[in-house]
Structure 1
Amino acid sequence: MEQQKLRVAVYCRVASYDQTVMWNQEEKLRQFAQEQGIDGIVIYSDNGYSGLNLDRPGFKQLEADIRAGKVRTVIAADISRIARNLFLASDWMDEMKKAGVKVIFVNQPDNDVQSKIRQWLADEWRKDKKVSQKN
């Protein structure tokens, strides 16, 4: 593929293999890109892969293309499509920032991912605290 056409990546992931859910996610992200005037996107996807680790073929290819300088922007539905593990997600976002890669989460339009992660951690801590108080 020509390097110029790989500048914007769309990443999709669903944990349980489901072609309809994957297609819907891809379609929503394609539509978002089109509305933003972005064309020539490249789709990276992992259908049926957990977000608890980063060991996924589509994600590995995306990271390889980022390291090769072929991708400068990544569009995904939200941070959980990248990783369900908060530490992995936060580390990955830090890596993207250092690499100068813009990450757009369609379902998090403010893109303040760090505050989202902090809020998510706080919510999880509160849930854990309530559970431990009941026991």
Structure 2
Amino acid sequence: MEKDKKVTALYCRLSKDDGSNSESLSIRTQKAMLMEYATRNGFGNCQYYVDDGYSGTNSDRPAFQELLDDIRDGKVATVITKDQSRLGRNHIETGTYMEIFFPEHGVRYIAINDGYDSNEQSQMDIAPFRNIINEMYAKDTSRKIKSALRTRKKSGKYISSNAPFGYQKDPADHNHLV
């Protein structure tokens, strides 16, 4: 496949869906940011790959797997994300994609907000540390959410998003059933 016909992959990911049936606001914002960057920097033939509601702690995400397949098939020239954490939050997996998989397939990787471009060797030094921090952030957030839920349960608060059949959430206190 000719280089100018190859795709510029604009990858978006959001770990928690906002509950709407349509695309989340964060995904729309990521799409706009990525397209603006691609246009401003002369990247053409852009294609979105979007995982809305998928954790970055593993790579088992439908659009990400499609992206990897397209890379293996030689269809992708460049992958652009908002930042490295959108690519993934598992530092070993993310580092493997950035340092081994993408280069082996001749794919350039850009993380806009992190100022990372695989064509710039000076950027390579800090990238592994960012990946470790991104993973630590995901683990810390998970721990905090579990702790908050445990505290709410112990104090007798109802924590489910929906009331069971025959009950409704108290309009004055959504953690109480009536």
What is the TM-score of this pair, normalised by structure 1? 0.81
- The residue type paired with residue 128 of structure 2 is I
Aligned with 1:29: secondary structure? Answer: helix
Match of 2:96 in 1: 91
Verify the 8 A CA contact 1:29 1:76 in the aligned structure 2: yes
Rg larger for: 2
Partners of 1:6 and 1:114 in 2: how far apart? 28
Greater RCO (CA < 8 Å, at least 6 residues apart): 1
Partners of 2:39 and 2:132 in 1: how far apart? 33
Match of 1:75 in 2: 80
- 1:63 equivalent to 2:53? Answer no
Verify the 8 A CA contact 1:75 1:104 in the aligned structure 2: yes
Out of 125, 129, 132, the position equivalent to 1:118 is: 129
- The residue type paired with residue 71 of structure 1 is V
Matches within 5 A, 1:96-107: 96-107=102-113
Aligned with 1:44: secondary structure? Answer: strand
Change (3 A) 1:52 1:122: closer
**Equivalent residues, number:** 123
Match of 2:115 in 1: 109
- Structure 1 stretches of 4+ with a deviation exceeding 6 A read none
- The residue type paired with residue 115 of structure 1 is I
Verify the 8 A CA contact 1:10 1:76 in the aligned structure 2: yes
What is the TM-score of this pair, normalised by structure 2? 0.62
- The residue type paired with residue 105 of structure 1 is A
Change (3 A) 1:51 1:64: same
Gaps of 5+ in 1: 125-135
Out of 22, 25, 50, the position equivalent to 2:27 is: 22
- 1:7 equivalent to 2:7? Answer yes
Measure how far apart 1:109 and its partner are: 1.7
Matches within 5 A, 1:11-50: 11-18=11-18, 19-50=24-55
Taking only aligned residues, the RMSD between alpha carbons, in angstroms, comes to 2.3
